[in-house]
Structure formats: C-alpha cells, structure tokens
C-alpha cells in the first residue's frame, strides 16, 4: 500500500503557507546552478514553473510535444482567471474564494491546499500584469472583473474571451527570457514516453523526437509533470486534440498514485454535437452566463416545433419560456456551478423540452442584455466567442439565441500530490491540470488558470527548492545507467509492438469507440450497471486494439498515427480505471453523478460518512485490480453541508 502523507503544515489555516515558507530549506545561488530540473509541459503550469525556477537559477529543461510552447492547450482558455482582490468592493476575500472553491468542489478537496490557492491568487494577477498581460480594464483604468459560476461576487479577471492565450503569452515571455539567459533549455516536438526511476526517485525521462522519431534520454535531480488533463479519454471534448494522459499514466505505472480519476467536469455551455464525423467540441465560455439567459420552451409542443424547424426561438413569447436555472436556483440563477447547470440542462432535454434537431440543446439568449447594454458592449465583452459560434453554427447569436449542450471539459482527477505537489514517487512533482489537487469533485469556472499559475509561479519555486536542498551533493546523473537503458528498451519495444500489429483499423476508429463507451456509461449520468458494462466493453476494445490496429508509415520518422496510437493505448487503460473509480464511489458528488444517489430534487447526494476521502489508485500489474488507497479529508475551518445554490 502507498503511504499518503499530505504533509499539511501545522498551525492555523491562514498561517500554514507562510509557516511552511519560513521553515523550508533553501538552496544557495551557487548550488542552484548545479541542479537540473526536467519540466514536461509548457502550458500555463509548466511555462510559469520553468520561468520561475529558471529565474531562481536552477537549470531547467522544458519539454512539449507542440512545435512551440505557445500552442499548449492553455491557449484555448477563454473566460478568465479568479483572484480574491476584491477590486469590486462586493464582499470578496481570501476566505470567501477558499470557501466557494471547497463548496464548489462538493467537499472533496484538501482544505489547506485550497486555502493556499486563494491566498496566492492576488499575486498571480500582479505577476501577469508585470508580464504584460492585457487584462480588461474599466473606464478609470483599474482592472475589470466579471462573475463566474458558484460565486456571488465578481472576481474573474479577463482579457476578452482569450484570457488563456494572453496569460500563456505572458508566461511564455517570462520563460523565453530565461532561455536567452541560459537557465531554461527548450525541447519542443519532444514527447515524454516514460519516466526513469533510480533508487526509488524520479531521475529522468525517455522522449521521442516527433520529427525524426529518435529516442532520447534526459536526466535531472527532479522531474515535474505539467502535462494537462485527460478529458480526451471521452474522444469528444472541448480539449485540444493532442491533450492526453500518457505522461501521468506512465508515472502511474511506475508507482505514482492516480487520484479521483472519475472526477470529470462536464461543461454546460458547449456547441452541441452535430454529426458522427466530428472530432472536437467547442466551448462557449462560462463568462457568457454573465449576460446570457438560459431557457427552453415551457411547452413540449413548442419544443417539438423548434426541433422540426417550424418555430423560431424568437417567436416564442416570454410567458412560454422556462428560464429553468433562474426558476430552480433564484440566488445564483444562470451562474450556478457547472455540474449543477449541466445536470439541469440534461434533465430538461431528457424530459422532452430540448431544442436543436436532436433535442439535445437549450438556448443561451442575449436579447435582454443587448437591449439593456447595447450590442457594442456585448461585442466588446464576447465578440470573439460570438464570431466563433457564427462560423461553426452559421447563425447570428446577436439576433437569435445560441444553442448549447454540456460536453466533457476538464478533469479534476490526476496524479495524487501532497501539499508540496510531490507525488508518491519521490522527486516527481505534478502541477496544473495534471494533478488532482484543488478542485475536488467539481471545479469552479476560472479556477484552472489560477491553479496552474499558482503551482508554477508561486508554489513549486518553494516546494521543489525544499526537496532539492538535500540533493546538492548529488552530481548530475549519467543517462548510461542501467535504469535509463532498461526504460528506453521498454519504450522501443512498445513502439515496435504497436507498429507490428498491422491490423485493419485506424487509431481514430478505436478512440471513437472508446469515447462512445465512456460517454454512454461513465458520462453525465452513471450507475452501477453501466459502469460494470463500461469496464467489460473497454477490456474487449483494448484486446481488439492490440490485435487489429493499423499504423501506416515508419517508426523512426515523423509518424502522427504512431503518436496517437501510443496515447490511445494509454486512454484504453485509463478509461477502465476511471470507470472503476466511479463504480467504487457509491455516492454522487460534484461532477460524479451516480443516478442511484440523488436528492428528491435531483441534486447530487453525497455520503460523507463513507466517502469523504480522496481515492488514490496504485498500479498493481496489468492483470490485477489496482489498489485503492484513501486519503481521508478533514474540514476544520468550514462546515460541511449539502450544497445549496437556491
């Protein structure tokens, strides 16, 4: 069994982080230059970590599979980033951001980590402004804020609908400065295929150059994984096409526990699916719920007529519209958290009130806001999102309501980490969406960017330093050691095995099939029977994959099908663990909705006495069930209650 020591520092909640920082071991500047850190991933979490650790003087090697760090999935983030600055003077505070995040996560995250996140949130904004991020400003020049789900205050900083892009350019600039100064070395188009462990510590990685197909070894004193989320296990999601689980999956198979794999976020406002050949879903940012009102027709006949194209939404009079979120949750209205909004949309569609040809959509309507604020204000706030919608759907959202439906968006699960962001493998740290740390069973909007940048800019520079302080006498490892040789051999033989299947079907054929199994059985509504079915269907599909996959091209050259195959092979294993975790968690919480466990109003029904823990799965060989370790959760500063957004 793994030992799950959260290493939560002692003392009052609001003093833990400063106590920790005051007492850690530091590394002197001359020694920093002798210590190497590998960072896999250069999205917001990885780029900010590389910039900060490089600026401290450590020698950093940063890897990504794209041709430039600027293409990391973080660039897609639209709506904004939370911070408890209380610029609006509307009652915000560090405690309130902490409270909202714990409650939003349905009491399944670690108190001390979340408090620290809220505590450092303000400095992220200062740091980003200093990096040149052009946040939206008010008339007087102060930074503007808007609201996001699960909060009654406006604390979200934004740059139109392109916040991730601007933040990433900021972190990328800071990292590039270190590249120029020689502390950070960049390795684009270099994919990590395995982790190397020497004497129980993470000491390196094996990578494949995606242009030449060459295999490389890299050694370091510590390894950081900042490799993003695994939502693409569902095939269709709002994630970038390349987002994958492979780096953290390989680490899991080398001994890092995988926490809460079933905790998946399904975002309520995405452009509905429109056909079998689709490979990607598009998000319409949660920020749109600041000004857009969600509704469906009140009468089934109207909904049917809309579906058949006989009635236009604008022809339905006000009295015949059901603004169901405002009706059910008057206090939060359209800004209830994502899990609540997604379930409510599904409930209306399942009951026959859905629109679009498929009946799987609801309206997001801006008519009232345009009347109140004028079209130009709406255009200023969300122009790029409206343009994107118009291009995809071929309808003008300024004059007719958008149609939206929930889609897979974010994974709260990831590698288990302690307070220092260290996994159960010594020397392996995990940051950003790749770890499980702060969002419990449901992440609040605009909190992923906050967490990724908190991890990279402000947490790892302390916690990694504390770890490295006792490594100063360890010289750089040679990659000639047997552990590197053996791991490289395993990587090569797996690639050969994939190439040699020489079957009939493409990688996408299997990925799509996996996605359908996952969505139908482990998606928005889960139950015991479906989850058991998912596990056996995934096992069958995995066997078929290893018998009937076809990869054209060469192994030792650029081969995008081989890249995808390797990632999908890992998804085919992760999917089973996700379903198993969902099966063992006999409760509903946040985005994990087990149909057997719901309140009379259809809300998630937790079972705190049996499930107030983080499930941390430990790999136990390919043919055995993984071991379930549990980190119990304690709430000392917060009263645990049934969530209520009414």
Positions that interact with ligand FAD (CB under 6 A): 40-46, 63-66, 72-74, 76-81, 163-164, 191-192, 226-229, 238-239, 243-244, 246-247, 283, 285, 409-410, 432-434, 446-449, 452
Residue 260 or 530: the one with the smaller Cβ distance to ligand FAD is 260
Non-local CB neighbours of 575 within 8 Å, separated by 6+ positions: 233, 514, 517, 518, 522, 534, 538
Q: How far is the CB of 153 from ligand FAD (least distance, A)?
A: 16
Return the SS3 of 87. Answer: coil
Residue 57 or 432: the one with the smaller Cβ distance to ligand FAD is 432
Residue 63 or 519: the one with the smaller Cβ distance to ligand FAD is 63
Q: 554 to each of 16, 87, 150, 547, how far by Cα in Å?
A: 53, 56, 50, 19
- Looking from the CA of 201 toward its CB, the CA atoms found within 13 Å total 13
| Count of C-beta atoms within a 10 Å radius of residue 3 | 7
Residue 41 or 427: the one with the smaller Cβ distance to ligand FAD is 41
* Greatest alpha-carbon span in the chain: 76
Return the SS3 of 266. Answer: strand
Residue 45 or 460: the one with the smaller Cβ distance to ligand FAD is 45
Q: How far is the CB of 126 from ligand FAD (least distance, A)?
A: 18
Residue 385 or 604: the one with the smaller Cβ distance to ligand FAD is 385
The pair phi, psi for residue 101, each rounded to 5°, is -70, -40
Residue 244 or 424: the one with the smaller Cβ distance to ligand FAD is 244
Q: How far is the CB of 642 from ligand FAD (least distance, A)?
A: 26
Q: How far is the CB of 271 from ligand FAD (least distance, A)?
A: 11
Residue 183 or 227: the one with the smaller Cβ distance to ligand FAD is 227
Q: How far is the CB of 450 from ligand FAD (least distance, A)?
A: 6
- Looking from the CA of 388 toward its CB, the CA atoms found within 13 Å total 15
Q: How far is the CB of 38 from ligand FAD (least distance, A)?
A: 10
Q: How far is the CB of 69 from ligand FAD (least distance, A)?
A: 6
Give the Cα separation of 338 and 148 in Å (integer): 10
Per the structure block, which two tokens stand in for 545? 């994959």
- 448 by Cβ neighbours in 10 Å (0-12 / 13-18 / 19+) ranks as buried
Q: How far is the CB of 522 from ligand FAD (least distance, A)?
A: 19
- Show the CA angle centred on residue 162, arms to residues 512 and 442, nearest 5°: 55
Residue 561 or 595: the one with the smaller Cβ distance to ligand FAD is 561
Strand partners, 192: 207
Q: How far is the CB of 163 from ligand FAD (least distance, A)?
A: 5
Residue 387 or 599: the one with the smaller Cβ distance to ligand FAD is 387
Give the Cα separation of 364 and 370 in Å (integer): 13
Through-space distance between the first and last CA atoms of the chain, rounded to whole angstroms = 42
Give the Cα separation of 459 and 17 in Å (integer): 10
DSSP state of 476: P
Residue 172 or 353: the one with the smaller Cβ distance to ligand FAD is 172
- Looking from the CA of 439 toward its CB, the CA atoms found within 13 Å total 35
Q: How far is the CB of 63 from ligand FAD (least distance, A)?
A: 4
Rg (CA), the chain: 24
DSSP state of 255: T
The b-or-e profile of 627-636 (16+ CB within 10 A means b, else e) is eebebebeee
Give the Cα separation of 1 and 626 in Å (integer): 10
Helix H or strand E segment including 198: strand 190-198
Return the SS3 of 223. Answer: strand
Q: How far is the CB of 471 from ligand FAD (least distance, A)?
A: 23
Residue 27 or 223: the one with the smaller Cβ distance to ligand FAD is 223
DSSP state of 630: E
Q: How far is the CB of 167 from ligand FAD (least distance, A)?
A: 9
């Amino acid at each position: 069994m793994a030992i799950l020591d959260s290493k939560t520092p002692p003392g009052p909640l609001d003093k833990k982080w400063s106590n920790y920082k005051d007492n850690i071991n530091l590394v002197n500047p001359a020694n920093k230059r002798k210590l190497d850190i590998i960072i896999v991933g250069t999205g917001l979490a990885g780029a900010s970590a590389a910039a900060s650790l490089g600026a401290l003087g450590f020698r950093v090697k940063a890897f990504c599979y794209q041709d430039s760090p600027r293409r990391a999935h973080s660039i897609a983030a639209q709506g904004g980033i939370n911070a408890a600055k209380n610029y609006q003077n509307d009652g915000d505070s560090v405690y309130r951001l902490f409270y909202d995040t714990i409650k939003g996560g349905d009491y399944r995250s670690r108190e001390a980590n979340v408090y620290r996140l809220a505590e450092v949130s303000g400095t992220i904004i200062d740091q980003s402004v200093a990096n040149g991020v052009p946040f939206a400003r008010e008339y007087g020049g102060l930074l503007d804020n808007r609201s996001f789900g699960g909060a009654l205050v406006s604390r979200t900083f934004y740059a139109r609908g392109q916040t991730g892009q601007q933040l990433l350019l900021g972190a990328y600039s800071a990292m590039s400065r270190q590249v120029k100064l020689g502390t950070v070395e960049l390795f684009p188009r270099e994919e990590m295929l395995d982790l190397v462990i020497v004497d129980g510590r993470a000491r390196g990685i094996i990578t494949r150059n995606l242009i030449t197909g060459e295999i490389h070894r890299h050694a370091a004193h510590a390894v950081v994984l900042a490799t993003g989320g695994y939502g693409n296990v569902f095939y269709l999601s709002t994630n970038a096409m390349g987002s994958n689980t492979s780096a953290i999956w390989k680490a899991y198979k080398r001994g890092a526990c995988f926490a809460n794999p079933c905790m998946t976020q399904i975002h309520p406002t995405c452009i509905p699916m429109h056909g079998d050949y689709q490979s990607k879903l598009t998000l319409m940012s949660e920020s749109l719920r600041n000004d857009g009102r969600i509704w469906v027709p009140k009468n089934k006949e109207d909904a049917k007529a809309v579906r058949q194209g006989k009635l236009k939404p604008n022809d339905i009079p006000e009295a015949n519209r059901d603004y169901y979120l405002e009706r059910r949750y008057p206090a939060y209205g359209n800004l209830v958290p994502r899990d609540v909004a997604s379930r409510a949309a599904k409930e209306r569609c399942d009951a026959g009130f859905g629109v679009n040809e498929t009946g799987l959509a609801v309206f997001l309507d801006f008519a009232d806001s345009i009347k109140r604020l004028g079209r130009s204000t709406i255009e200023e706030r969300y122009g790029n999102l409206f343009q994107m919608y118009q291009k995809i759907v071929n309808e003008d959202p300024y004059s007719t309501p958008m149609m939206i439906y929930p889609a897979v968006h974010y994974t709260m699960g990831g590698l288990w980490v302690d307070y220092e962001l260290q996994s159960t493998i010594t020397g392996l740290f995990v940051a950003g969406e790749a770890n499980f740390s702060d969002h419990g069973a449901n992440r609040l909007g605009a909190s992923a960017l906050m967490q990724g940048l908190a991890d990279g800019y402000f947490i790892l520079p302390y916690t990694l330093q504390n770890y490295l302080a006792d490594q100063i006498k360890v010289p750089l490892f040679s990659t000639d050691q047997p552990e590197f040789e053996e791991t490289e051999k395993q990587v090569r033989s797996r690639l050969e095995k994939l190439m040699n299947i020489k079957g009939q079907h493409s990688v996408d054929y299997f990925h799509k099939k996996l996605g359908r199994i996952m969505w139908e059985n482990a998606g928005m509504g889960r139950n015991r029977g479906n989850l058991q079915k998912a596990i056996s269907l995934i096992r069958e599909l995995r066997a078929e994959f290893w018998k009937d996959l076809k990869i054209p091209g060469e192994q030792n050259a650029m081969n995008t099908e081989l890249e995808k195959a390797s990632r999908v092979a890992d998804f085919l294993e992760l999917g089973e663990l996700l379903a198993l975790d969902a099966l063992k968690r006999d409760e509903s919480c946040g985005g994990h909705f087990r149909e057997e466990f719901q309140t009379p109003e259809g809300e998630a029904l937790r079972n705190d006495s049996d499930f107030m823990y983080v499930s941390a799965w430990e790999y136990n060989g390919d043919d055995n069930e993984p071991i379930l370790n549990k980190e119990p959760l304690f709430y000392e500063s917060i009263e645990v209650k049934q969530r209520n957004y009414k």
